[in-house]
Structure 1
């Protein structure tokens, strides 16, 4: 990871100093230690972790508003009402709308999908779109991945004769919209035992209940792929029910159950279905789909998911690939500009407002800044009168709570603890910057931050035998909430190191310990301090052939520096 100018090296911290004492007996020792570091200390817990289909199945009727939503949609299907499906322009919203459209249409519903334009309409429900849908004859409006903060917009829909059902997962405001049903696991009155579903997960559970209500069998192979894709790309924690959804979705996709659109995306990105992992969804398919809404219109991605003709699907996938390459170019240029505007100063909160960064990539730039400087970052695309912002946070700072505290300065806002967005009038920018910076300073302090790498276990590299590797690779699907196991090995002999990548910023390594030689890749660490013997912090990943395993080196230091492992 690229560090900011003057940044100190990351701190290495042992996730659980007692994990090695609490491991499951007769398990491979490294695997047992890593499981214990994640709180898994019994065989029963390990069985549920490795086989998430064994986890208890939560009752979706516990989600508040679910029963009312199902009854209203069932009546709309019976009466042949026009159901408007309104989704966000990111992958979670697009997959939610695709799931709902396909399933409801198969049940005999009359639906019209609607994805707003990021540039002319912005995030969430808007009055113009509601008016358009009402004039088209819609009598029921179902939102997905948006709507929970749209108090005025829902009231307007009601005035036009639209019933509104909200399927959302964003942080719930103090006042709920006056919708017929607001299905959201984060509602404070929700008895549902898992509150981290993505919107596509909420839509998936809604359809299960609807099929049961109508007496139709629910074949999840038709929709679980999209639920898995949206869950991963939206960075929902891959634990509990989300782990079950993603595991099941990947199984279906690997066994050849790819819809034409995803097959075309896989072909375009150079990944074969049998090698699909959560990283494939998050870093190969997801960015290409998101590029549509960032640079053009998200309906391109929606049409791709719904397309049944393989030739047309491939043409759409190529269009998305072209957009994604342009998105990458714009993001690199915008990040350089943002770094220049910030300069070397290290404020408690990074705040960049400029008319030179397009609104479609402000979130990506904010994410890069937060990653590089380990500070919450807000990047605004400044317009003539208003600015649209995306915010990304760091552990320990609730960015959406900080933004919500300043709602009197904002036109609209919403999001999660780690990622949020808002629109603000330009005359309030200076005051907003000062207030948010003060909040971050009070929470995080003003000292230069140091990134922390939480390590699951320290072990000699030579101790990684076949059983250990197999057990560690079975932590898939990995991602937010279930990171890849991270190990520390000291005294590793460096055999070879060379810069790789288009800009030479990555480091290809060959290392040895005992009789075992490993290949590895250290992303964005070509300038790292190297020596004959290294201490390395790493995870395991499939190699480029898909048949073997290599090291993904997250950080390294010469053994002679004896960098401490904090406990």
Structure 2
């Protein structure tokens, strides 16, 4: 029987073995080492990292298609045309549409927000929706978080008399759709300095420059919360411009929430003053996404646009209930997928079942990829076609692998780490074999242990107030800017007790020198423990929000002397 990846202990790899020599002088030692491990070795770089709102903004007019889009929207407003706003059904798409709808209204624009139904329409632009919007009188169509791969659909819109402006951030295909403007920072001809904006970031910058183009004052605080929310939930890297957007968005949220987010915070049990990027990603985001996964994403859009607390409260309760059902279905579907896979650990995991809803295939794929450290493709099998979502691992561009097989697909799109497609069932077996072959070529056939990148090795006892303050100031943290990860050896384990509904987590009490720390180790109740342990961990706010505890990412007996490897290549 092949050993599953989940049973292999993670490898600890030092991000930069020379970081301790390159740290900024007179900075707290551990903070300086972690910053250097992230490539920050000068005071100006540190200033830009810790205070991103002070950096000059990039010019949105550098984005190809932006001047044409501005002129076309200006004409639509002047001539009182109806503008259709077509967005994806995830949080990035919903926040993008909310930004455009709210932002265009004060300029006098007449808009029709449209989000497709995941189950009857599927992902992206579709011919039926375009016909519906044309029949409703739209003469300009703006897509958000989709459209960059919709060559046929955009051509059809043109035939019906609609000009199309695309605001997207997905991987750009070889052939662009025949749109009036295709604004995407990932275009190879784009001189815009940052190519990792989420779609809501593209919509936000478009709106910002449109106001400037029309000579109108732009109220940044009215939209930055939505741009921050969509950026985090879409797992865009929290670096550069995204870090600025999320930092400013969180500041705006802590100062006061729109009714919809206030209601969502209440049902999530999170106080606005304690909002972090993690709050957006793990408390608000899943509840909003539950609408598009199980019902219709219009619920999430209505919540964001809710004018009163009373209207928002009802919608937030609906989303909360949908999220609980989403959690239940995800657990059952993941168990089914694991059963169908069995002990197999192919270079790429491929599961198709009529018993997995298309609304949760992405969540199941994400669980499988995390547990087995392999790219995972999960399909909801229909009578004639199957809808799939794919999640990848470092070193494997899943959207490139899928695009290689475009001749077998009905539609496709996505990012390096997450993608989706629709395929006719007669092509399933061939598609599976080809994707596995591509993964085998790039990743090899042997199971790979999960890797935890360590920024610095440090004594737990040496983490004083300045070190803690500097490490906690890495917020907002998430994809592309993970929390600092430290390794401390020989820590005394005072207590370890299972907690959680299924008792799969460990609540820890750890001591080093005179300092005692509380910690939590998620999904590690079966970990091998001893009186002295080595821990790999990050710092996080405790449940009360007024203290700091350890989030233990991995734990091993000190006697085992688990190596801290040096990255090669």
CA distance in 1, matches of 2:7, 2:454: 20
Q: For the Cα contact (< 8 Å) 1:289–1:320, is it kept in 2?
A: yes
CA distance in 2, matches of 1:255, 1:138: 37
CA distance in 1, matches of 2:300, 2:316: 8
CA distance in 2, matches of 1:238, 1:385: 40
CA RMSD of aligned residues (A): 0.8
Matched, 1:553 2:558: no
Q: Which deviates more from structure 2 when the two are superposed, residues 52-61 or residues 302-311? A: 52-61
CA distance in 2, matches of 1:220, 1:510: 44
CA distance in 1, matches of 2:519, 2:538: 10
- Indicate the SS of the match to 1:483: coil
Shift of 1:7: 2.6
**Which digits, 9 at most, give the CA deviation of each residue in 1:263-298, with x for residues without a partner?**
000001000010000000000000000000000000
- Counterpart in 1 of 2:124? 124
- Counterpart in 1 of 2:408? 409
- Indicate the SS of the match to 2:497: strand
Q: For the Cα contact (< 8 Å) 2:535–2:552, is it kept in 1?
A: yes
**Which digits, 9 at most, give the CA deviation of each residue in 1:84-126, with x for residues without a partner?**
0000000000000000000101111000100000000000000
CA distance in 2, matches of 1:453, 1:202: 32
Q: For the Cα contact (< 8 Å) 1:342–1:352, is it kept in 2?
A: yes
**Which digits, 9 at most, give the CA deviation of each residue in 1:167-220, with x for residues without a partner?**
000000010000000000000100001000000000000011100111001111
How high is the TM-score relative to the length of structure 2?
Answer: 0.99
Q: For the Cα contact (< 8 Å) 2:490–2:558, is it kept in 1?
A: yes
Matched, 1:85 2:85: yes
Matched, 1:76 2:76: yes
CA distance in 2, matches of 1:369, 1:148: 28
CA distance in 2, matches of 1:271, 1:359: 30
CA distance in 1, matches of 2:55, 2:355: 49
**Which digits, 9 at most, give the CA deviation of each residue in 1:14-48, with x for residues without a partner?**
00000000000000000000000000000010000
Q: For the Cα contact (< 8 Å) 1:412–1:424, is it kept in 2?
A: yes
CA distance in 2, matches of 1:186, 1:468: 37
- Counterpart in 2 of 1:391? 390
Matched residue count: 564
Q: For the Cα contact (< 8 Å) 1:55–1:240, is it kept in 2?
A: no
Matched, 1:271 2:270: yes
- Counterpart in 2 of 1:170? 170
Q: For the Cα contact (< 8 Å) 1:100–1:203, is it kept in 2?
A: yes
Q: For the Cα contact (< 8 Å) 2:6–2:371, is it kept in 1?
A: no
**Which consecutive aligned stretches of 4+ in structure 1 deviate over 4 angstroms post-superposition?**
3-6
- Indicate the SS of the match to 1:414: strand
Counting only pairs closer than 5 Å after superposition, residues 38-437 of structure 1 correspond to structure 2 as: 38-256=38-256, 258-437=257-436
CA distance in 1, matches of 2:65, 2:7: 48
- Indicate the SS of the match to 1:283: helix
CA distance in 2, matches of 1:70, 1:510: 58
Q: For the Cα contact (< 8 Å) 1:5–1:344, is it kept in 2?
A: no
**Which digits, 9 at most, give the CA deviation of each residue in 1:294-345, with x for residues without a partner?**
0000000000000011011011001000000000000000000000000011
**Which digits, 9 at most, give the CA deviation of each residue in 1:474-504, with x for residues without a partner?**
0000001000000000000011111111111
- Counterpart in 2 of 1:531? 530
- Indicate the SS of the match to 1:250: helix
Shift of 1:227: 0.1
Q: For the Cα contact (< 8 Å) 1:87–1:94, is it kept in 2?
A: yes
Shift of 1:53: 1.2
CA distance in 2, matches of 1:217, 1:513: 55
Unaligned residue ranges in structure 1 (runs of 5+): none
